[in-house]
């Protein structure tokens, strides 16, 4: 058993292991590897009996802090081990190797977003110096019956001027629509205290893969001023959002402009054409206490860890230790 950096001769093995672990289709995996695998550079693997036993991907992205580019960081992605080789220490070896590799290359940090609800992965990665830096506040909301009835009788009225909201489904392959989504993402990310800026192709691939779920939609949340409701002029576009509905509950999976979360939630909860339940997630620093003032009714809540970071430079260590505001990440698209 030894560690190597994969080359193109390993592509079929990498596709099979990815599909076995994450369930993605071969077309998506192959296109991802073609775009982001750099032979003998960014895909460390454990080789056992001339076959890949374990793998992870290190994708370089610029690291931003308050609009300043700090340099590059590595995004640790799609870590996987074959079933027959699990619990043998393969991933531990790869993580230690990768940390040293990235540090020697002058990278500032390694970001990691464990897809884990029971926190076992967070405990595992913490052994290697990764720190949980962001959490998500998961809330389940419902509209009070009286308020809901009143609002349904005359939704979205403001004085004598009628105004309405709409959630307009869009095609993410439309270049203009995707440009708006990505530009919003880039602008918002650059403002954060610490955030990796994913490039357009990576962002597009992962966002598109989310829509392979037949119940998932990509839409723009808009406010229309004046009549009729179909008027395409004088429209404010509040945010881009991925959402899905299951058994009369809406699940909001991604919001670019989080300050409009309450407005979008209010629209989904109170429109006659929509469901009466909503599950939404609010980002916050791992040690923060979320604000309690909100127009929504919280019927259930849970704070879950979200993102981890391994600082590889003193500058990033300082920012991490003094972090105050949440980073923007596409947390539910497995990006």
Residue 283: per-residue pLDDT:
55
Q: Which fold has domain 2-107?
A: Aminopeptidase (3.40.630)
Quick one: average pLDDT of 295-301?
A: 45
Average pLDDT, the chain: 79
70: left (phi over 0), alpha (psi -120 to 50) or beta: alpha
Residue 328: per-residue pLDDT:
45
Residue 72: per-residue pLDDT:
97
Residue 250: per-residue pLDDT:
74
Residue 51: per-residue pLDDT:
96
3-state class (DSSP) for residue 80 = strand
Q: By percentage, how much of the chain surpasses pLDDT 90?
A: 41
177-226 confidence digits (pLDDT tens): 999 889 888 887 888 888 899 999 999 988 888 888 888 889 888 888 76
Residue 282's nearest CA partner among 254, 320, 321 is 254
Please check whether residue 42 is in contact with residue 35, taking contact to mean a CB–CB distance below 8 angstroms: no
| Two domains, one topology: 2-107 and 137-305 | yes
Assess whether the previous peptide bond of 236 is cis (omega < 30° from 0). Answer: no
Residue 20: per-residue pLDDT:
94
- For 23, 52, 53, 57, 62, the CA distances from 87, given in Å and listed in that order, are 21, 15, 12, 20, 33
Q: State the DSSP string of 194-246.
A: SEE---HHHHHHHHHHHTTSTTEEEEEEEEEESS-TT--SSEEEEEEEEEEEE
Q: Which residues, in sequence order, are CB contacts of 289 under 8 Å at separation 6+?
A: none
Lowest mean pLDDT among 72-76, 120-124, 160-164, 292-296: 292-296
Lowest mean pLDDT among 116-120, 167-171, 315-319: 116-120
Residue 115: per-residue pLDDT:
75
Per-residue pLDDT band at 257 (split at 50, 70, 90): low
**Greater pLDDT, 123 or 156:** 123
Please check whether residue 87 is in contact with residue 291, taking contact to mean a CB–CB distance below 8 angstroms: no
Lowest mean pLDDT among 80-94, 163-177, 223-237, 309-323: 223-237
45-83 confidence digits (pLDDT tens): 999 999 999 999 999 999 999 899 999 999 999 999 999
End-to-end Cα separation, the chain, in angstroms: 30
- What tokens does 10 get? 């390993």
Residue 124's nearest CA partner among 174, 167, 76, 171 is 76
CATH number of 137-305: 3.40.630
**Greater pLDDT, 100 or 166:** 100
Per-residue pLDDT band at 331 (split at 50, 70, 90): very low
Residue 150 has pLDDT above 90, yes or no: no
Q: How far apart (Å, rounded) are the C-alpha atoms in residues 335 and 328?
A: 12
SS3 content of the chain, % helix, strand, coil (to 5): 35, 35, 30
Residue 276: per-residue pLDDT:
57
Q: State the DSSP string of 5-35.
A: E--GGGHHHHHHHHHHHH---HHHHHHHHHH
Length of the chain: 335
Residue 315 has pLDDT above 70, yes or no: yes
**Greater pLDDT, 73 or 324:** 73
69-124 confidence digits (pLDDT tens): 999 999 999 999 999 999 999 999 999 999 999 999 999 999 998 876 668 888 99
Print burial letters for 108-118: b (CB count within 10 Å at least 16), e (below 16): bbbbbbbeeee
Residue 140 has pLDDT above 80, yes or no: no
Residue 158: per-residue pLDDT:
31
Q: How far apart (Å, rounded) are the C-alpha atoms in residues 87 and 34?
A: 30
Quick one: average pLDDT of 238-262?
A: 73
In this structure, the dihedral spanned by the alpha carbons of residues 130, 131, 134 and 135, taken in order and rounded to 10 degrees, is: 100
| Boundaries of every domain in the chain | 2-107, 137-305
Residue 230: per-residue pLDDT:
57
Residue 329 has pLDDT above 60, yes or no: no
2-16 confidence digits (pLDDT tens): 999 999 999 999 999
């Amino acid at each position: 058993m030894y560690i190597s950096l994969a080359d193109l001769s390993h592509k079929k093995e990498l596709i099979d292991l990815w599909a076995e672990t994450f369930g993605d289709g071969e077309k998506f995996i192959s296109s991802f590897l073609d775009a982001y695998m750099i032979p003998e550079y960014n895909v460390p693997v454990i080789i056992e009996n001339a076959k890949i036993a374990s793998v992870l991907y290190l994708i370089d992205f610029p690291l931003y802090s308050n609009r300043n580019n700090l340099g590059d960081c590595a995004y640790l992605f799609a870590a996987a081990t074959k079933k027959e080789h699990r619990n043998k220490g393969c991933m531990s070896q790869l993580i230690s190797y990768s940390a040293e590799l990235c540090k020697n290359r002058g990278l500032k940090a390694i970001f990691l977003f464990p897809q884990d609800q029971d926190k076992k992965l967070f405990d595992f990665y913490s052994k290697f110096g990764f720190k949980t830096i962001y959490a998500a506040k998961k809330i389940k909301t419902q509209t009070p019956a009286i308020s809901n009835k009143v609002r349904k009788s005359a939704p979205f009225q403001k004085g004598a001027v009628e105004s309405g909201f709409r959630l307009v489904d869009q095609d993410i392959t439309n270049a203009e629509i995707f440009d708006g989504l990505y530009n919003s993402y880039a602008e918002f990310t650059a403002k954060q205290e610490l955030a990796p800026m994913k490039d357009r192709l990576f962002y597009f691939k992962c966002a598109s893969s989310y829509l392979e779920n037949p119940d998932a939609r990509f839409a723009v949340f808009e406010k229309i001023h004046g009549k009729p409701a179909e008027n395409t002029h004088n429209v404010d576009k509040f945010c881009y959002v991925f959402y899905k509905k299951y058994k009369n509950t809406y699940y909001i999976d991604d919001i670019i402009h989080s300050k409009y979360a309450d407005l979008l939630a209010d629209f989904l909860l109170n429109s006659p054409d929509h469901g009466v339940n909503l599950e939404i997630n609010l980002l916050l620093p791992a040690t923060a206490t979320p604000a309690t003032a909100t127009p929504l009714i919280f019927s259930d809540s849970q704070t879950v860890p979200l993102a981890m970071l391994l600082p590889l430079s003193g500058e990033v260590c300082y920012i991490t230790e003094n972090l105050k505001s949440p980073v923007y990440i596409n947390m539910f698209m497995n990006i």
